[in-house]
Chain A
Amino acid sequence: MSGTEPITAEEVDRLVEQIERDAGVGGYHLHPDADFVRGLVRGLAENERRYGYRSCPCRLSMGTKEADLDIICPCDYRDADLVDHGACYCALYVSADVKAGRTTVGSIPERRPPRAEREKARAGVTATPGVVGSLAFPVWRCSVCGYLCARDAPPLECPICRVGRERFARFI
C-alpha cells in the first residue's frame, strides 16, 4: 500500500517547516510538542505518497480525492474545532492558548458527519436561488476558512488559508 522507500527525516523536516510557515502567515499555530507534530506530518507525507494528497492522518481515507476533499489538511472542520476545543481533530493545529501552554488539549469528538450523511449532503448542494440574477458576479466560499470572493471563478489558491481552488464552492 505505502511507497517502497520510507519517508526520510529530511522530508518530514521540510514539510514541517513549510506547514509551520503557512500556519504563521495565516494566524494559525501548530501543536507545542515538536515530536507529536513530526509524527502527524510524517502521516501527512505518507498519505500524500499513498493517495496523492495530504489526507488527515487521523481519519480513514476512502482513496479518492472527491470523497476525501473535506479531510485534506487543513480540513473543513479545523477552524470550528479550534474555536470549540482549542485544537483540530488530529491536534496538528491548536489555539494560541494551547500553543503558549496556558491550556492543554486531548482527543476531541469527531465533527465530520458520518459517511451516509456526507453523501446525502453532497448530492443536495445547490447555489442559493433568488438573488443570483441581481449580482454582477457569483460569490465563492472557501470551505476551510470561509473566505468569500465575488468573481467569475474561484482563485487558484485561497489567499487566506492557502488551500487549492477545489475547496471553493459557489455560495451565492
Chain B
Amino acid sequence: MQLVHVNGTDKGPVMLYALSTCGWCAKTRELLTDLGVAFDYIYVDLVGPEEQKEVIEAVERVNPSLSFPTVVIGEQTIVGFKEKELREAFT
C-alpha cells in the first residue's frame, strides 16, 4: 500500500494520512472525494515497516499526537474528521 492519487480539481497539494480500519478516516476520504478536489492518501497501517517510520515522522511533524485522519492542505493541517473546516478549506 502506497500513496494513492484521487483525481479532481487542483487546489494545491492535499494529503490525507489515514488508517484503513478507521471510520472517521473513511468519512474524510469520502468528503474529499465528494468535494471534487484532487488529493493523495496513504493508509499508514498498510505501509511496510521501513516506509512506515518515515510516514510516522511526517505526520508527527504536523500533528505530534500521531492521530488519524490528518489532512495537510498546503500550510494548513486539519486533525480529525472536521467536516466544516474541511469544506471551508476549499471554498
Give residues in A with beta carbon < 8 Å to B.
1-2, 36, 39-40, 42-44, 46-47, 57-61, 63, 90-91, 106-110, 112-115
Chain B residues near A109 (CB, 8 Å)? 80
Chain B residues near A59 (CB, 8 Å)? 19, 67-68
Residue in B1, B21, B81 whose Cβ sees the most chain A Cβ within 10 Å: B21
Can you pick out 11 interface pairs between chain A and chain B where the beta carbons lie within 8 Å of each other? A42-B21, A43-B21, A58-B22, A59-B19, A59-B67, A63-B49, A90-B22, A90-B24, A91-B23, A110-B67, A112-B65
Q: Is the CB of B45 within 8 A of A107?
A: no
Q: A107-B80, A112-B65 are in contact. Are A58 and B19 (CB under 8 A)?
A: yes
With an 8 A cutoff between CB atoms, is B66 at the interface?
Answer: yes
Complex formed: what's the CA distance from A164 to B28 in Å? 33
Complex formed: what's the CA distance from A39 to B29 in Å? 14
Q: Which residue of B lies closest to A44 (CB)?
A: B21
Q: A107-B80, A107-B81, A107-B82 are in contact. Are A57 and B21 (CB under 8 A)?
A: yes
Q: Is the CB of A60 within 8 A of B24?
A: no
Please tell me the number of chain B residues within 8 Å of chain A, measured between CB atoms.
26
Complex formed: what's the CA distance from A109 to B24 in Å? 12
Chain B residues near A47 (CB, 8 Å)? 21
Q: Is the CB of A58 within 8 A of B68?
A: yes
Complex formed: what's the CA distance from A61 to B44 in Å? 10
Contacting residue for A60 out of B23, B48, B64, B66, CB 8 A: B66
Q: Which 7 A-B pairs have the closest CB atoms?
A: A43-B21, A57-B21, A107-B80, A107-B81, A110-B67, A58-B22, A110-B65
Complex formed: what's the CA distance from A63 to B45 in Å? 10
With an 8 A cutoff between CB atoms, is B26 at the interface?
Answer: yes
Nearest-Cβ distance from residue B55 to partner chain A, whole angstroms: 10
Chain B residues near A107 (CB, 8 Å)? 24, 80-82
Contacting residue for A46 out of B21, B48, B80, CB 8 A: B21
Chain B residues near A63 (CB, 8 Å)? 49
Nearest-Cβ distance from residue B18 to partner chain A, whole angstroms: 10
Q: A1-B46, A108-B80, A109-B80 are in contact. Are A114 and B22 (CB under 8 A)?
A: no
With an 8 A cutoff between CB atoms, is B15 at the interface?
Answer: no
Chain B residues near A58 (CB, 8 Å)? 19, 21-25, 68
Q: Which residue of B lies closest to A35 (CB)?
A: B23
| Besides A57-B23, A90-B24, A107-B81, 12 new A-B residue pairs in contact (Cβ under 8 A), listed by A number | A1-B46, A1-B48, A40-B21, A42-B21, A43-B20, A58-B23, A58-B68, A60-B44, A90-B23, A107-B24, A110-B67, A114-B66
